[in-house]
Amino acid sequence: MPGSGGVVVRQPDHSENPPGSGAQRMVPGRVPLPVWRWGVLDSFLAALCNGPSASFLSAFAVELGAGGGILGLLLALNTFLANGLQLQGAAWARRGSSVRRVYGAAIVARGTWLVAGTIPAAIYAAGYPAVALSIFVALLGISSIASAAANPAMGARASTAGGEGGRTRYLADRAIATWVGILVGTAGMTLLLGAVPGVWGYAIGFVIAALAGLGGLRAYAGLVATDRRIATDRRAVDEPATRAGPTPSTSLSQASGPLRRPPGPEPTGGVWGLISRRLGAPQSAALGTIVIGAAILQGGASMIGPASPIWLVKHLGMPASYLGALSLVSSLAAIASQRIWARYIDRQGSRRVLGVAGALAALVPLGWLVVFDPWVAVPLNLFAGLSWGGYSLAMSARLLQLAPAADRPAYLGTYAAAIGISGAFGSLIAGAVAAAVPIEWVPAIFVASFATRGLGWWAMRGGPTGA
């Protein structure tokens, strides 16, 4: 299949698998093509929903009359609810939440955007901007909480579909689909706002995004059903070998019922032991090392968000409209590098690649210290996209590798919660500093970002060895 990224399925050998049996013989090291199709489509449609809704929620709030203080609180609240509460969503998945509850939460998370724009827009048009803004904030909170409840279980299931073979390439292709979905959604929303300015442009865009997100749930359902069918067919083909004794499964995707956590390890000591027992996170020293280091690194990375636009626009005179182009450059670099990073991970292991990519990402703020012309930011954003593309892919592979099958939602949720909270704090602190100091002092934020990222990278280096 063109564009499948090398994910292939060998046609069934009918001498072993009679026609109509549905059993498939896969090329080793590849995710089955039907799983790949649904998985990539799921990522693309989810991003097509999340891209416009996340990228334009602050602009819509400003259109409704939000000031700087309210806007900052809105963004921090959204970050905390959507990411910080994922730990609770992971605990829900670990206790064995039903499929119906997970789907229900996901429908609320994405379906809320059907009314998140239309109702506030109508109230705003009626002359009640404060009420419209309040309702939008409330609907945003509902969507974020539901998203936090559903994402850990759905993310773990989708990421491990198809078994263990070829997972890195599959994760890379899902990441590419996510980036493309965000770009398409963001570009489409921009064009729509040009054609339909004002609050109704946002309302229409959010409705389209919601429909795409609900379509993504159909793709996710197809992914789960296809994965179960292939797993069943695989067990049927391998039945003679399994008669000698059961073989423990290492794939979350093969579980047909609620997740059941096996007896856990001995309680972890140190800082992570205290944190994990307090918050109900997995008792894993390996996870603790990654989460603490990644949270510090992400806190440093989020400092660039408020500082770089101020430096480029107010100090160097770059038109504000060009900031989107810089983001596009970074995204394209991340997309183009995914397959390269995937091969590197397969050859060198996720731990080593995480260290390399994390070190590169930590160096990005030093580049901002030499941006004395706006266009120097172009190669810097290329480098940043390349670095973060590898870091994100290696981090996903590392977490899935370290986590027991039943604890994968908990591992992913714990990580998302940690970086979400630290990222919110980093943005708030850097934004406050940038607003309080003379513009010539903004590079001090770049230095702080570099130091914080480096500390986070150093903290992650103490993790366990292994691929």
Contact 374, 318 (CB under 8 A): yes
Find all residues with CB under 8 Å of 384, minimum gap 6, and list them: 330, 333, 361, 364, 367
β-sheet bridge partners, residue 367: none
CATH 3.40.190.10 is right for the domain spanning 27-236: no
Strands (E), 26-181: none
Output the pLDDT for position 15: 30
Output the pLDDT for position 109: 92
DSSP letter string, 142-154: HHHHHHHHHHHHH
Rg (CA), the chain: 23
Q: How far apart are CA 49 and CA 188, in angstroms?
A: 11
Output the pLDDT for position 266: 46
Output the pLDDT for position 265: 47
Nearest CA among 16, 14, 9, 113 for reference residue 56: 113
Output the pLDDT for position 217: 94
Output the pLDDT for position 139: 92
Spans in the chain with pLDDT lower than 50: 1-28, 241-242, 244-267, 466-467
Output the pLDDT for position 18: 31
Cα dihedral sign, 172-174-175-176: positive
Residue 360 CA: distances (Å) to CA of 95, 223, 302, 366:
38, 34, 16, 11
β-sheet bridge partners, residue 10: 25
Contact 396, 271 (CB under 8 A): no
Per-residue pLDDT of 4-16, as tens digits, reads: 333 323 333 333 3
Output the pLDDT for position 239: 56
For Cα atoms 104, 106, 112, give the angle at the middle one, nearest 5 degrees.
95
Structure tokens at 424: 């919110």
Tell the CATH topology of 270-467: Growth Hormone; Chain: A; (1.20.1250)
Output the pLDDT for position 102: 83
β-sheet bridge partners, residue 13: none
Output the pLDDT for position 269: 55
- H helix runs in 95-128, sequence order: 99-111, 113-116, 118-125
Domain spans of the chain?
27-236, 270-467
